[in-house]
Structure 1
Amino acid sequence: MTRPPTLDQVAERAGVSRTAASRVINNAPNVSRATRDAVERAIRDLGYHPNRTARALATSRTDTVALAISGERPEIFADPFFAQVIVGVSEAIEETDLHLMLCLATSVRGQTRLRHLLDRRGVDGMMVMALRGDDPLARIAEQSGLPTVFGGRPLRGEPHWFVDADNAGGARLAVEHLIAQGRRRIVMINGQTDTNVNDTRRRGYLEALTLAGLASAGTADGDFTEPSGHAATAALLAGRPDLDAVFAANDNMAAGALRALREAGRRVPDDVAVIGFDDLAIAEQTDPPLTTVHQPVRALGRELARMLVLALAGREPTPLLLPTRLVVRGSA
């Protein structure tokens, strides 16, 4: 039986010391790019597989990272947005030796579990998402001292590492499109108002109106779900029956708006135009198909994981703002 290659053989093949090879394998910081490339090439050529148990004991690493979402119900992982984020994270993690753990961290029980996990160093680093207001999850992550990357910025503070989309710019594109079509009584359906994502989308909505010399025709609060978009639109119609356009802070609420408008006998887009945000699968399934702002949700997940991998390797990744663009369909 052929014996598996050893660390000494990897070092010899790479032309580096055994210590240098070990540092690369254990993702230690301050290793030159040339050394890292040479060792990684030797590992591939030889088919070397480190002893995971010995590696963990030697480095106090678990080779596990957590994606913690500020939510209470497991169903949140099936939400089309978070499902795409998880797919993107998984794609990037598959390129490494890391394992992925999913955590919910809104309930007291969920926060206690997460704190226990972090206290015993059950993971090497974290990705956190869906923070609301003064979210305890942000403090838990900070107190852990572990490398942490934020998916979207929190409402308060500026994290060291984050991946976000250009939410304000995307909202401006949406409202500018409505104005260019001659719409003048444009309302907005907010998502959860204690989130940065809603705050920046609302800012983009107001900026576009201000630049055009228009005022908001009204806003109503939802919670990023279809039923809340339906209820918010019904309330807006009651207060502004002459509204001629709806900008919803996500596609789920825009779908609810379409349903409410249909029930009220309003034709879309003839009487009222509707635009959403995200460009999820539901945007192509509504009647009419939904004009929306596309954000690269799966890419957000991939970049989130890649940024964490760089941080774990002792590098200093740069925060990333992903572009958004308008996708025009039948609703506006």
Structure 2
Amino acid sequence: MSPRGGARATVHDVAAHAGVSRGTVSRVLNGAGYVSAEARARIEAAIAEVGYVRNNAARNLVMRKTWAIGFVVHEPHQLFLEDPNIGAILLGTNAVVAEADHQLVVLVVDSDDDAARVSSYLRGGFVDGAVLVSARSHDKVADAVEQIKLPAAFIGHPEGRPSIPYVGIDNRSAARHLTSRLLGTGRRRIGMLASALDRDSGADRLAGFTDALGSRFDERLVVSAPLYSYRAGVDTMTELLRREPDIDGVFAASDAVAAGAIEALRTAGRKVPDDVGIVGFDDSAWALRCNPPLTTVHQPAADMGRAAATLVLDQLAGRTPSSVTLPTDVVWRESA
């Protein structure tokens, strides 16, 4: 009763082995229509005995679905591996996608060539939807998503993309609150290590820092770098010390940047928090690796991934999505 010559088992083989019609087997495989418990048991046994494996390519062609969701990260490969926030967002996204019986496909955009390739991939219909992480306002991948009307959701809120819902936090308010707390410790010369100013999170954190300082804001005490990275923290802190040796407070735009800044301060012979109080942003694994442990803003990364995946699945189900803003909290530790 098994397929001959090593050929792949088919629905017809299962039906013949179970002694039922092909239509009955299809109803069991697709979870649609009534099948008696006795017939279902015979079919399930037959599937195991003949080694039947569903042909997903044919199923997808018939249903016009891939059962895959893209997870598009617009970051350099190395930062993708180093950034614990991205990992937490990915795991949160995958939990919801897997529960819905979809597969998550990770696509990393590290260059213009990557952006063109990923855009072409999305246009090719290889995924049913996408979660977009670290997208910029001028982003080829986001352009492709809008053009083909692919169900999607941003992590963050790039300007000029009203057609794509987003999951985010109020970066500006959180940065303003954290900077005010740092001022409250008595620091008088506070600088910022800004990062990623080409996206909403970086620009909003700088705006919140500026809000909190008011008339005391000094643009010379802001040093910026393109990425939220440890190396950026080392380099920008070194430059800030060159500009203002008497700096006594620092707001770093991410925990990874803050960790690099602490290393630069230590190299320069400055003690944290005795000489310089420093705060970060994210409450990632970097915050507890620092010595002393880092004061920071807790960003609910895994919840952001779960919410973004839900927005995409809602669109696939025909529901109208609404963007989501999640709450944040300051976690006060020894670094400030």
TM-score category (smaller protein) = 0.7 to 0.9
1:179 to 174, 180, 183: 183
Inter-partner Cα distance in structure 1 for 2:199 and 2:309:
22
Shift of 1:77: 4.3
Shift of 1:88: 0.8
Where in structure 2 are the equivalents of 1:124-139 lying within 5 Å? 124-139=128-143
Match of 2:234 in 1: 230
Inter-partner Cα distance in structure 2 for 1:132 and 1:160:
13
2:166 to 159, 162, 166: 162
Shift of 1:192: 2.0
Match of 2:222 in 1: 219
Q: Is residue 320 of structure 2 the alignment partner of residue 312 of structure 1? A: no
Check whether the contact 1:106–1:137 (CA below 8 A) recurs between aligned residues.
no
1:143 to 144, 147, 151: 147
Inter-partner Cα distance in structure 2 for 1:76 and 1:237:
29
Where in structure 2 are the equivalents of 1:32-47 lying within 5 Å? none
The superposition leaves residues 70-125 of structure 1 with CA deviations (integer Å, 9 ceiling, x where unpaired) of 23436614521211111111111121111110112343432333233223311111
Q: Is residue 32 of structure 2 the alignment partner of residue 7 of structure 1? A: yes
Q: Secondary structure at the match of 1:127?
A: strand
Match of 2:65 in 1: 61
Shift of 1:160: 3.1
Q: Secondary structure at the match of 2:271?
A: coil
Q: Secondary structure at the match of 1:9?
A: coil
Shift of 1:52: 5.5
Alignment: residue pair count: 292
Inter-partner Cα distance in structure 1 for 2:204 and 2:116:
31
Q: Is residue 79 of structure 2 the alignment partner of residue 79 of structure 1? A: no
Inter-partner Cα distance in structure 2 for 1:149 and 1:194:
19
Gaps of 5+ in 2: 1-17, 37-53
1:327 to 306, 328, 331: 331
Check whether the contact 2:69–2:130 (CA below 8 A) recurs between aligned residues.
yes
Amino acid at match of 2:318: G
Where in structure 2 are the equivalents of 1:194-209 lying within 5 Å? 194-209=198-213
Match of 1:281 in 2: 285
Shift of 1:53: 5.8
Match of 2:276 in 1: 272
Inter-partner Cα distance in structure 2 for 1:82 and 1:96:
21
Shift of 1:57: 3.4
Amino acid at match of 1:8: G
Check whether the contact 1:65–1:125 (CA below 8 A) recurs between aligned residues.
yes
Check whether the contact 2:146–2:163 (CA below 8 A) recurs between aligned residues.
no
Shift of 1:159: 4.5
Q: Is residue 117 of structure 2 the alignment partner of residue 113 of structure 1? A: yes
Inter-partner Cα distance in structure 2 for 1:269 and 1:293:
18
Check whether the contact 1:151–1:300 (CA below 8 A) recurs between aligned residues.
yes
Q: Secondary structure at the match of 2:305?
A: helix
| TM-score, normalised relative to structure 2 | 0.80
Gaps of 5+ in 1: 13-49
| TM-score, normalised relative to structure 1 | 0.81
Cα distance change of structure 1 residues 154 and 292 upon mapping to structure 2, 3 Å threshold: same
Q: Which has the higher Rg, Structure 1 or Structure 2?
A: 2
1:190 to 176, 187, 194: 194
Inter-partner Cα distance in structure 2 for 1:266 and 1:74:
29
Inter-partner Cα distance in structure 2 for 1:232 and 1:147:
38
Amino acid at match of 1:194: D
Q: Is residue 108 of structure 2 the alignment partner of residue 104 of structure 1? A: yes
Cα distance change of structure 1 residues 230 and 106 upon mapping to structure 2, 3 Å threshold: closer
Inter-partner Cα distance in structure 2 for 1:81 and 1:326:
16
Check whether the contact 1:74–1:104 (CA below 8 A) recurs between aligned residues.
no
Task: State the percentage of identical aligned residues.
Answer: 35
Check whether the contact 1:173–1:325 (CA below 8 A) recurs between aligned residues.
no
Q: Secondary structure at the match of 2:280?
A: strand
Shift of 1:132: 2.8
Inter-partner Cα distance in structure 2 for 1:74 and 1:96:
30
Inter-partner Cα distance in structure 2 for 1:74 and 1:141:
25
Match of 1:242 in 2: 246
